Structure 1
């Protein structure tokens, strides 16, 4: 599976300079960091995220993240799993309560390396590190009941596009959400 992910990333066509640079770093990390899929790698580890759209593709499912104190897309740590699409789908279900979600495409939608500041989780200090993130584009039924995951988020909601992209911290809004908005716009 690691080879399959490596190949997918190699074949990924970067949208902008951020993706171009991050793609090279991610490939290097996959080549050199044996434990990149585990949180035990305190410098950088793999995560998977999802842009979950409703069936009309005019709303995105976002959650208020307890650690980041921001409205973010859903996702989480690989924790040893190398099938990152499966990780993204699992995390969406766990973090939002929805049960029916499917990929719009199995291709990588976006990739990014995200800074995570040191914080406390479950009573233990987690040092600053990098999330080596792969994002997938998923679809779900917006009428399905949502529920929070109290240890991770305090709100889960469907946000009309493109308004949802303007509620984030400046760096996230300019570098990541604007890129994702442009990509969604291109999909039509």
Structure 2
């Protein structure tokens, strides 16, 4: 998958902007509690699915910073900690056409971020709901491989 990302970036110098019609880079936050037993998911309003938090980088070349920004905006959390500047996961997925926006690809770069579940959440207009979900229960909300892969990276064994 990293080769696909590299080829896409090389062919699309404007890939940090959502105006890149073939697709663009996005940044996501796989937010976990300190014990690494729960993750924060958003019930995405447009896609009507439970997903990790994240979104468009809007020209921000520091993808970890973009993931942190998206996490703050979409959760209301202020005490977030980037666990590592290393990429935690990558995923390429199709975004369906909506309104005047054509179908396109998101090349999603994901970072591991820690938060305190006791901190109050603030639901943004992009979300129907937010929930701290036990890792073992994530695939009950979204059985897709994208989230399942991140769960597997967190669970022992």
- For the pair 1:25 / 2:29, whether they are aligned, the reply is no
TM-score with structure 2 setting the length: 0.95
* Aligned alpha-carbon RMSD (Å): 1.2
Task: Please identify runs of 4+ aligned residues in structure 1 that moved more than 4 A.
Answer: none
In structure 2, list runs of 5 or more residues that go unmatched.
none
2:97–2:103 contact (8 Å) kept in structure 1: yes
| TM-aligned CA deviation for residue 166 of structure 1 | 2.3
Cα distance in 2 for partners of 1:182, 1:164 equals: 11
In structure 1, list runs of 5 or more residues that go unmatched.
1-21
- For the pair 1:118 / 2:97, whether they are aligned, the reply is yes
- For the pair 1:156 / 2:135, whether they are aligned, the reply is no
| TM-aligned CA deviation for residue 118 of structure 1 | 0.6
1:67–1:119 contact (8 Å) kept in structure 2: no
What does residue range 77-116 of structure 1 map to in structure 2 within 5 Å?
77-116=56-95
Say how many residue pairs are matched: 157
Cα distance in 2 for partners of 1:164, 1:181 equals: 8
TM-score with structure 1 setting the length: 0.80
What does residue range 54-93 of structure 1 map to in structure 2 within 5 Å?
54-93=33-72
Cα distance in 2 for partners of 1:23, 1:106 equals: 17
